[in-house]
């Protein structure tokens, strides 16, 4: 499935870019994230709990950053295993554009799921993925804006 979206963050592009590369910010933005750490300059390990409706699964994920074009764009890809629930992988191309009121963050997400969650949750996968993506970028925007306000 593919999803696109964008949000306006009232902060300069460099500040948004820094936030996008700051683990503390990513930790706050990834829904249910409990711990997160760099394993190389472009690779991150994350652990957390995802909860959507009746389903609640702990996940372990590996995140990779690529196509780095600071401070304009990068691609963030993740692959997570949720134990008995199944697995999910997905990526987002993130682009930052300067605007009069701040920075517009534009994202294109592709995601796929497999295992039990895909079998039993077929009718809700897209809606759930959209919810998580929207939540991630909304929180990312909020944290980036708060940081920029604090450091300005």
Map residues 76-115 to x or -, x wherever contact with another protein holds by CB under 8 A. Answer: --------xx------------------------------
Torsion of CA 109, 110, 115, 121, to 10 degrees: 60
Residue 42 and residue 65: Cα distance in Å, rounded? 5
Which residue lies nearer to another protein by CB, 1 or 24? Answer: 1
Question: Which stretch, 28-36, 88-96, 128-136, 140-148, contacts another protein (CB under 8 A)?
Answer: 128-136
Told to check if 133 binds another protein by CB under 8 A, we report no
Residue 113: helix, strand or coil by DSSP?
A: strand
Minimum separation from the CB atom of position 83 to another protein (A): 8
Residue 7 and residue 106: Cα distance in Å, rounded? 7
Which residue lies nearer to another protein by CB, 30 or 148? Answer: 30
Which residue lies nearer to another protein by CB, 8 or 124? Answer: 124
Question: Which stretch, 19-27, 35-43, 66-74, 125-133, contacts another protein (CB under 8 A)?
Answer: 125-133
Sorted by sequence, the CB contacts under 8 Å of residue 47 that are 6+ apart come out as 33, 34, 35, 36, 58, 59, 60, 61
Question: What does R_g of the chain's alpha carbons equal in angstroms?
Answer: 15
Q: Give me the residue label for tokens 């994350």.
A: 46
The one among 36, 94, 117, 140 contacting another protein by CB under 8 A: 117
Q: Where along the sequence are the contacts to another protein (CB under 8 A)?
A: 52-57, 84-85, 116-117, 120, 122-128, 130-131
């Amino acid at each position: 499935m593919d999803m696109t979206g964008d949000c306006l963050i009232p902060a300069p592009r460099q500040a948004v870019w820094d936030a996008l590369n700051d683990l503390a910010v990513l930790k706050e933005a990834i829904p249910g994230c409990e711990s997160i750490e760099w394993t190389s300059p472009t690779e991150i390990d994350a652990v957390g709990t995802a909860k959507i409706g009746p389903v609640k699964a702990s996940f372990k994920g590996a995140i990779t950053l690529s196509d780095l074009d600071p401070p304009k764009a990068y691609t963030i890809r993740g692959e997570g295993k949720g134990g008995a629930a199944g697995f999910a992988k997905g990526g987002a191309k993130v682009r930052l554009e300067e605007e009069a009121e701040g920075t517009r963050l534009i994202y294109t997400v592709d995601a796929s799921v497999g295992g039990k969650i895909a079998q039993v949750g077929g009718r809700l996968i897209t809606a759930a993925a959209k919810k998580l993506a929207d939540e991630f970028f909304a929180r990312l925007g909020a944290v980036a804006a708060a940081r920029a306000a604090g450091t300005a």
